[in-house]
Chains A and B, each alone.
Chain A
């Protein structure tokens, strides 16, 4: 008998809704939730079945036997593993203080569990991977609207013009978003793409600006200057909602289109024509403010300027523009209850919210919690618990990272897969894969907000558990079990649903509960109170930033030019990989030739180095790390840059498909763990330089 199980994908951070067909105890078919996605699913999502069937993952709780990273483990019972971890935590807290424990994750809708645990045991130091991802965009949004990164969303389908600065929206894809953008194109909408190389997204653009790496801010300033000149902005909207518009006018005066052209390489006439064009399309113009914008030293200001261009378009709360994602309260409904524990009254070790008052103390900044492991300042961090987050793959410069982690007395990994962090840690508490586990219910805000469910489709193949259960066990042993008031997932769901009036049966038919029949829009003329800045207006000059001694409008500084013979390393990903969590997948590992990344090199540069398309080149960092990659030679990458896919070069011997295949971009980023943006908080992952030289192919190629 076939049965349908509705759930949420877990193959990347998007968590698209899906439907699984289950026969016996096997998933035989997986597709996008037909009620939301019409069945559509991306390559990674489809390979979710291969993930749970894969045996190259931890089979049960493990305690390290040999040295860290040696790969000698003792398989133990859950009780032994949990006791081991909690005994260690207690001893460390006794010696160094309760705040010496750090919990990290990849973020997402379940992170309140991890945070609750961290706070409940007395540490404020909960963090996530966002310093390598969305922090700049988040803080830029906060500085203008008083709202976080997700405080506004985008109605792509109805847009007339979508402007993408480096956002490869059709490849680093979310299923609903990518299909909405394609629908926009079908309806005659246009894309302007800005990037240092051509991508499948710019391949569909009406305009493509190949810019010099690190000059996005110059181009954005030139555009704003020209928008003001051509009066391509919504004067009424600005008058009503925007504070300090005149400061913007005087600030951008020197940054003409002609000036920008010299910096970024896009000619002035093209910038002007672009502005004339979007003026016709206002307000249905969307400037994407950046997704993974942990890129350059000034990426925060790039994001700020992109947000400002949206504001100039007056595209807020309009069809084809931005909208406020609505919550249950906007539909007259009560929200889900979630586990929570107030933050202990101790300053964070990363200084977020204190030394850096403008940086959110919610997740703080992961990279700033590492030095205290070594320096003991402001106080020592000595234990680290990581949830499905491979620090070695996401943070730059593994050597430096290890220098910090080696001062930690306990490293715990809770992950369904192997990764370099998991391989290196002291205790592995293996999570079940997403098809083998349920999770807490989540709220998905939007024009039509809903509650959604991830439900277990099959029994765990190995001795693994869902995170809600692992945290419950840890909390019980730490004496803080009352923060996790459930025994089973059904208890948990019922407890969450209690205030809402819904029951779990309401999720069975479609996998979600819709809180409204019609999309909810606010009255665009009555947005007062929606912007959560100190002034209640959109702040061009941000009080939050100025109070912290940080400029709201930063004068442009040109990027460092690569020294002769070196190239700026930029990274991205293909549509079938969600970084290192996909490269060992039984199916996804077949999609890239040899399961190795390649390196994009500009044609003229390659010719001058005697490198032909398909040749092997040694790519070397400024430190010790490097390795051979095959060259992809093209004129469509800027000569100062080389590009590679993220997530390769993994060094976990039990991952036979990915072991030592390709080169890790993160490990090539020598020194970047300390290069971060004081204004936006993120590290700057495109600020490293590599050298290239022809070499022999690797022995197994």
Chain B
């Protein structure tokens, strides 16, 4: 796991897919490739009401990334200082081993260049002290760029408040 995590508040997400476009615009990802993606679940019925849910899927920037282990050329790598997993385009030979190795199929194929590319958490923005494109322009503010410990902290806080509200 990198130093960072992007959390997603499903309850506040409206499935507008702006985050996907912010990402595409920023990273110029090839047609058909989505470094982050909103997966629509539904409509299905829950407690008598039809629901839609939207789940934000991106790269987890794993602590022990399968994709990096699988890469024969060292193109897929993990940035030492913060653990961001990214592809060095120059060394990628397009063998697609990483796509097969990643349990979630996260690395994306670029048919034009014959190489793989993926979410790098907009590391150029992070280095400038900014947040990733998807997070910083999300329509409802339901994406958050944070650290695992902060995320855990705020989740517990949120849960406690919710519990008290229910009881209260």
Chain A residues in contact with chain B, CB under 8 A?
A: 29-32, 38-47, 49-50, 170-171, 173, 175, 178-179, 182, 185-186, 198-200, 202-208, 574-576, 587-588, 590-591, 634, 636
Please measure, in the bound complex, the distance between the C-alpha atom of A628 and the C-alpha atom of B109, giving whole angstroms: 30
B64 on the A face (CB < 8 A): no
Complex Cα distance, B51 from A207, in Å, reads: 11
Residue of A nearest to B14 (CB): A170
Interface string of B113-152 (1 = CB under 8 A from A): 0000000000000000000000011111110000000000
Classify the interface of chain A: helix, strand, loop or mixed. mixed
How many Å from the CB of A574 to the closest CB on chain B?
8
**Nearest chain A CB to B152's CB is how many angstroms away?**
21
Nearest chain B residue, comparing its CB with the CB of A186: B12
Given A31-B136, A576-B17, check contact A590 B51 (CB 8 Å).
no
In the complex, the chain B residue whose C-beta lies closest to that of A48 is B25
A-B contact pairs, 8 of them (CB 8 A): A41-B137, A199-B52, A200-B52, A203-B52, A208-B49, A575-B14, A587-B24, A634-B43
B26 CB within 8 Å of chain A: yes
- Complex CA distance for A50 and B11, rounded to whole angstroms: 30
Contacts of B140 in A (CB 8 A): 40, 178-179, 182
The reply to whether B43 and A50 form a contact with Cβ atoms under 8 Å apart is no
Asked, given contacts A208-B50, A634-B43, whether A40 binds B138 with beta carbons under 8 Å apart, the answer is yes
Cα–Cα distance between A186 and B9 once the two chains are bound (Å) = 11
How far, in Å, is B33 (CB) from chain A's closest CB? 9
* Assembled-state Cα–Cα distance A47/B24 (Å): 9
B22 lies within 8 A of A179 (CB): no
Assess whether B21 is interfacial by the CB under 8 Å rule.
yes
B21-A47 in contact (CB<8A): yes
Do A178 and B43 touch across chains, with their CB atoms under 8 A apart? no
**How many residues of B are in contact with the other chain, CB < 8 A?**
30
A591 contact set on B, CB distance < 8 A: 17, 20-21
Cβ contact within 8 Å between A39 and B139: no
Q: For A32, list chain B residues within 8 Å (CB).
A: 137
Q: Does chain A have a CB within 8 A of B31?
A: yes
- Of all A-B residue pairs in the complex, the 3 with the closest CB atoms, nearest first, are A203-B52, A575-B16, A43-B21
Cα–Cα distance between A44 and B51 once the two chains are bound (Å): 25
State which of B11, B16, B26, B53 has its C-beta within 8 Å of the C-beta of A576.
B16
Q: Contact between A43 and B17 (Cβ–Cβ < 8 Å)?
A: yes
Q: Say yes or no: B50 contacts A576, CB within 8 Å.
A: no
Q: Determine if A590 and B24 form an interchain contact, defined as CB atoms under 8 angstroms apart.
A: yes
Query: Which chain A positions have C-beta within 8 A of B24?
Result: 46, 587, 590
In the complex, what distance in Å separates the CA atom of A618 from the CA atom of B44? 27
Of chain A, the residue at the smallest CB distance from B25 is A46
**A202 contacts B15, CB within 8 Å?**
no
Given contacts A41-B22, A575-B17, contact A173 B139 (CB under 8 A): yes
* The residue from B16, B49, B136 contacting A205, defined by CB atoms under 8 A apart: B49
Say whether A587 contacts B25, CB under 8 Å. yes
Of the candidates B18, B26, B31, the one whose C-beta lies within 8 Å of that of A575 is B18
Task: Report whether A588 and B21 are in contact in the complex, using a CB–CB cutoff of 8 Å.
Answer: yes
Interfacial chain A residues near B31, Cβ < 8 Å: 590
Residue ID in chain A nearest B42 by CB atoms: A203
State in angstroms the CA–CA spacing of A339 and B25 once bound together.
Answer: 37
Please give, as numbers and ranges, the residues of chain A lying within 8 Å of B20 by CB-CB distance. 43, 591
Chain A: CB-nearest residue to B12? A182
Q: Give the chain A neighbours of B16 by CB distance below 8 A.
A: 42-43, 170-171, 173, 178, 200, 575-576
Residues of A within 8 A of B22 (CB): 41, 43, 46
Do residues A42 and B32 form an inter-chain contact, with CB atoms below 8 A?
no
Known: A170-B14, A185-B12, A575-B18. A202 touches B139 (CB 8 A): no
Partner of B50, one of A30, A39, A202: A202
CA distance A202 to B141 in the complex (A): 20
Which residues in A have their C-beta under 8 angstroms from that of B136?
31, 39
B:78-93 near A, CB below 8 Å: none
Contact partner of A30 (CB less than 8 A), chosen from B14, B17, B25, is B25
A175–chain B nearest beta-carbon distance, Å: 6
Q: How far is the CA of A186 from the CA of B165 in the complex (A)?
A: 13
**Are A636's CB and B50's CB within 8 A?**
yes
* Residue contact B18 to A203, C-beta cutoff 8 Å: no
> Quick one: CB contact mask for B44-61 with A, threshold 8 Å, 1 for yes?
000001111110000000
Say how far A141's CB is from chain B's closest CB, in angstroms.
27
Rounded to whole Å, the gap between the CB of A596 and the closest CB of chain B is: 15
Q: Known: A43-B16, A43-B20, A575-B18. Contact between A178 and B25, CB under 8 A? A: no
Contact between chains at B21 and A49 (CB < 8 Å): no
In the complex, what distance in Å separates the CA atom of A185 from the CA atom of B12?
8
Task: Give chain B residues whose Cβ lies under 8 Å from the Cβ of A46.
Answer: 18, 21-22, 24-25, 137
- The smallest beta-carbon distance between B36 and chain A, in angstroms, is 13
Q: Are B137 and A39 in contact (CB under 8 A)?
A: yes
B21 proximity list for chain A (CB < 8 A): 43-44, 46-47, 576, 587-588, 591
Q: What chain A residues lie within 8 Å of B18 (beta carbons)?
A: 41-43, 45-46, 575-576
A46 to B54, CA, bound (A): 20
Quick one: which of B25, B138, B139 contacts A47, CB cutoff 8 A?
A: B25
Give the residue name and chain of the A residue nearest to B16 (CB).
A575
Contact B50 A198 (CB under 8 A): yes
